[in-house]
Amino acid sequence: MTGEPAGPDLETAALSRLYFLGLLEPAERVPVLRRITARIEADLARFSALDKHLDKHLDTLDIPEEHRDLVTHQRATLDYGIAAHRFMLEWFRDHIDRHEPPNH
């Protein structure tokens, strides 16, 4: 619960921690949420870097005609991942703001 969210499925790691967050002492909750947001930020940075790399180099690649539809949908998958991570990041930041103790 209080460890770093690990593994390839960030959404499952984040939501399982969120689901049981009420079992922790109040002072332990925001640090857990901050670890989740840090992981989201790191993953989003990697996806965004890949997106920029593709934007820069995709036009120069010689993609065979039979693979162009595949590349289109692979790119859509990356776009979805970026959008999902942006949403998660915004949602978890808002949740922290609503549950952070005053005087912080």
Q: What is the pLDDT of residues 70-102, one digit of tens each?
A: 888 989 999 999 999 999 999 999 999 998 877
The residue type found at 71 is V
As a whole number of Å, the end-to-end CA separation of the chain is 23
Is the pLDDT reported for residue 37 higher than 70? yes
Gap between the Cα atoms of 7 and 4, Å rounded: 10
**Burial tier of 97 (Cβ tally within 10 Å: 0-12, 13-18, 19+):** exposed
The domain limits of the chain are 10-99
Q: Give the span between the Cα atoms of 85 and 43, in whole angstroms.
A: 8
Q: Give residue-wise pLDDT tens across range 48-66.
A: 999 999 887 776 677 777 7
How distant, in Å, are the alpha carbons of 39, 40, 47 from that of 80?
17, 14, 10
Handedness of CA 18, 23, 27, 28 (dihedral sign): negative
pLDDT at 2 over 90: no
| Residue 101 DSSP code | P
